[in-house]
Amino acid sequence: MNFYKEQDISQKRARILMLLFILSVIIVVFSTGMFFITLHTYMYSDENLRFTLSPFYILSHADTLAVILSFLGVFALILYGFLKKAEELSEGGKTIAKELHAIQLFGNTANTKEKILINIVEEMSIAASIPTIPIYVIESKHINAFVAGTTYDNAVFGVTRGAIELLERDELQGVIAHEFSHIFSGDMKINNRISSFVNGIMYIFIVGMEIILSQHPVDNPKGKLEEWHNMVLGVSFIFIYPAGYIIGACLAIIGFAGAACACFIQLFINYHREYLADAYAVQFTRYSDGIANALKKIGRYGHKLASANVGYFSHIFFASWSSPPAPNRIRKIEPSWDGKYIDVTKQKDKVFKKTNADAKQKSLQVMSVAYMLNQLSNVGNITKEQIERAYMMLENVPHSLKQSAENPLEAEFIIYALLFDKDYSIRQTQAEFAADKIFPNNAESQKAAINRINAIYADMILLERSLYLNIIHLCIAALKSITPAQYKTFKTIVNNLIEYDDHISLFEWCIKYLVIYPLDINFGVKKPPIFMHTHTGAVKEDIETLLSAVVYAKTKNDKEAKELFFQARNKAALTSLQYRAGGHFSSEAFEKAIDEIQNSKPFVRSKVMETVIYALTSDKKINTDDLIIIHAISEALHLPLGID
C-alpha cells in the first residue's frame, strides 16, 4: 500500500461522493418542493390551474414565497439530518459501536477465543506503531467485522461473536488486516460521510412515516421515530384524515427514492475498495488462505446482522450487500477455488506456530537515514515480519505488566511510572499525589494504589527503554474506556508529574503527547486534523519552531544545533527555513507548531517528518530517546513509521 497515493485517492473519492450526493439532494429537494408547491397551488389557486401536470407551469403560477419556503424547508431538513449524524460520528467509532449494540471487550477476559482476537489486534497495532485499537463485540452468530472512527486515534474494531467462534487465528488475522487497510487508506472518513448523507436524505422518509403514524397513533416503544413524533404530530393535525395519509405516503416515497439513490452511491464507492482491502490483507499477512477461508466460511454461515441500525452502516462491514459477493472476492484471491465453502465441523484444528522472529529492536547502528526514510515511505504498510516481531515483543513483556496494561486503572499506573523521578523520596511524593487525586479521602485505597504503582514501577525499570513506546500503545485501548471525569483526573496527574521539576524536556513532552493526544481525540477534547495546508510555506514558522526544538534537544548547544538544523533543512530541500536562536524547548510553542502542521496535506507532513529524521540521524549518534522522539512526532503528524 502506498499511503500517500491512497490518501490522494481517498480525497478524490470524497469529492466524487460529494458531487453525487449534491445531485441526489437536488433531485430530492426539487421533488419534495414540487410536491408542496403543487399542494399549495391546488389548495389556493383557481380550478384551471389545479389539474395541470407541467411543473414549470405550476412554478410560474405559484406564489413566490411558497416556492422559496418549500425548497428551503426541504433543504434545511436534509442538511439538519446530515449535520446531526456528522456531529455524532465525529465522536469516533465508539458511537457507531454503541448504535450497533456492541459491547467493549477487555483484556481480562477468560474466553480463549476472545484472547486470541485481542492478541491479533495488539500485534497489528504495535507492528503499525499506533495505539492499540479498542475491540467491540456484536452478539451475532454470523461472521462479520468493521472498523469505524475518524482517525486511528478514535477508531474501534467491531467483531461478531460468530467471527470469534468460527474463524481460526490466521483467518481472523486476515479479516483484521483487511480492516486495518481501511484505517490507512482514509476509508473511515468516507464511511462517515456516506452515513451522514444517507441519514440526511432519509429524514424526508422519516417525516413522511411520522405523519402517517400520527394519523393513527399506536404504541411504538421500540421504534426509531420517537425523536420526530412530537414535532411532526404538532404539524400534522392540520391535515384532514385522508390527506394526512396521502401527504405522508408521498413524502415517504420521495424520501425512500432518495435513500435508494444514496444506497447506489454507497454501492459505487464501496465495491472497488473492498477488493483493494482484500489485496492489502494478503500483502500484510503474506497468507492468502487466511482471508480466503474467512470468506468461504461467510459463504456458508452468512454475514447478515439483526440490528435495526445496520442499514445506516452496512457499507462499513467486512461483508454486506454493498460489498462484492463472497464468491467473487474468493476467486480474486484464489483463482483456482473449487466453489466449496468451509464447514467448521469438518475443519481440522490448526496448531498455531510461534514465530522465530527476533523480538529485539533493530540495532541502533542500522538506524540510518536511508532506513528511517524507507520507513516513512512505507507508512501504512504492515509487513509479516513486523507482525511477527510485534508478537515476540508481546511475548517478552512480563505477564503481570501486560495484564496491567489491559486494565484501565493499572494502565494509568503504568503511565505514571514512566514519568516518575528516579529519586526514591521524590517518587514516593509523586505516587502519594497520584493516589490522593484518584481516591480522595480514602486512606485505605490510597495505600493500596501506592503499593501497586511501586510494584509496576519495579517491573518497568527492568524493561528495555526501547519497549516504552509499545507499552504506551498497549495502555491506550484500556484508557479509552475510563469516564470523562476519570480522564480529567488522569490528565491532571500526568501534567503535574511532567511539570514536577518546573522543566519539560522534549522526551517528556513526547511521552505525554503519545498518551494524551489520542485520548483527547477519543474524549472530544480535540478535533481530528482537517488537512487544509497544501504547501510547506503555509506552515514555515511552525516547521522552524519544531525543527529548532528537536536539534537543540539533541545537542544542548546553540552552535551545534544551528549546524544540525541547516544540514537537515538542506538535505530535505527546505532551504528557506531559518533556525530559531535559543531554541530551548517550550512545550506550548512546540505543541502549537505540531497542531498547525497536523492540518497539512500528507505530502507536507511527510516533508516535515523527513527534516526531523535527517536532524536526528545524520550525525550517526542516534539513541533510544531519539527513536522515541521520531516515533512520537511521526504519530503526532499521523504518519506512523511502524515497528523498528
Give pLDDT, residue 223. Answer: 47
Higher pLDDT, 360 or 464: 464
- As a whole number, mean pLDDT of residues 19-31 equals 79
Given pLDDT bands bounded at 50, 70 and 90, which one contains residue 353? Answer: low
- The dihedral over CA atoms of 130, 132, 133, 139, expressed in degrees to the nearest 10, equals 160
Per-residue pLDDT at 49: 52
Q: How confident is the model at residue 452 (pLDDT cuts 50, 70, 90)?
A: very high
Q: Which of 16-30, 69-83, 86-100, 365-379 has the lowest mean pLDDT?
A: 365-379
Q: How far apart are CA 91 and CA 638, in angstroms?
A: 18
Q: Which residue has the higher pLDDT, 167 or 11?
A: 167
Using CA atoms, how far apart are residues 328 and 132, in angstroms rounded to an integer?
32
Give yes or no for residue 51 having a pLDDT over 60. Answer: no
Percent of the chain with pLDDT over 90: 34
Q: Average pLDDT, whole number, for the chain? A: 82
Give residue-wise pLDDT tens across range 506-545: 888 888 888 999 999 999 888 888 778 889 999 999 999 9
Delineate the domains of the chain, giving CATH numbers in brackets: 95-190+270-337 (3.30.2010.10), 369-373+530-636 (no CATH), 398-504 (no CATH)
604 closest CA partner among 568, 565, 572: 572
Question: Predicted confidence band at 222 (pLDDT cuts at 50, 70, 90)?
Answer: very low
User: Cα(317)–Cα(330) distance, rounded to whole angstroms?
Assistant: 17
User: 180-216 b/e with 16+ CB inside 10 Å = b?
Assistant: bbbbbbbbbbbbbbbbbbbbbbbbbbbbbbbbbbbbe
User: Which pLDDT score is estimated for 378?
Assistant: 75
More confident residue, 456 or 313: 456
Average pLDDT over residues 389-412: 89
| Band (379; pLDDT cuts 50, 70, 90) | confident
The stretch 132-148 carries a mean pLDDT of 95
Report d(CA 637, CA 49) in Å as an integer: 63
pLDDT reading at 214 higher than 70: no
- Out of 240-249, 323-332, 575-584, the most confident range is 323-332
Task: For residue 200, give the amino acid letter.
Answer: G
Most confident of 239-248, 337-346, 483-492: 483-492
CB 198 within 8 A of CB 378: no
Per-residue pLDDT, 235: 46
Among residues of the chain, what percentage have pLDDT more than 70? 82
Among the ranges given (200-214, 416-430, 441-455), the one the predictor scored with the smallest mean pLDDT: 200-214
* Span 241-286, pLDDT tens digits: 456 666 777 777 777 777 777 777 777 777 778 888 888 888 888 8
Question: Using 50, 70 and 90 to split pLDDT, how confident is the model at 618?
Answer: low
Q: Choose between 444 and 262: higher pLDDT.
A: 444
**3-state DSSP call for residue 295?**
helix
The answer on pLDDT for 363 being more than 50 is no
**Bridge pairing between strands 135-138 and 145-148:** unpaired
CA distance linking residue 129 with residue 635, whole number of Å: 8
Q: How confident is the model at residue 227 (pLDDT cuts 50, 70, 90)?
A: very low
Q: Tell me, what's the pLDDT at 328?
A: 93
Q: Inform me whether the pLDDT recorded for 170 exceeds 90.
A: yes
pTM: 0.82
Give the whole-angstrom CA distance, residue 257 versus residue 24: 10
- Predicted pLDDT at 455: 93
Report, as an integer, the average pLDDT of 593-618: 89
Whether residue 638 is predicted with pLDDT greater than 80 in this model: the reply is yes
Average pLDDT of 405-431? 92
Cα–Cα distance for residue pair 637/379, rounded to 1 Å: 12
Flag whether pLDDT at 233 surpasses 50. no
Asked if 188 and 207 count as a contact pair (C-beta separation under 8 A), the reply is no
Does pLDDT of 7 surpass 60? no
Q: Could you count the other beta carbons within 10 Å of the beta carbon of residue 229?
A: 15
* Closest to 632 (Cα-Cα) out of 427, 473, 503: 473
C-alpha cell read off for 430: 509523586
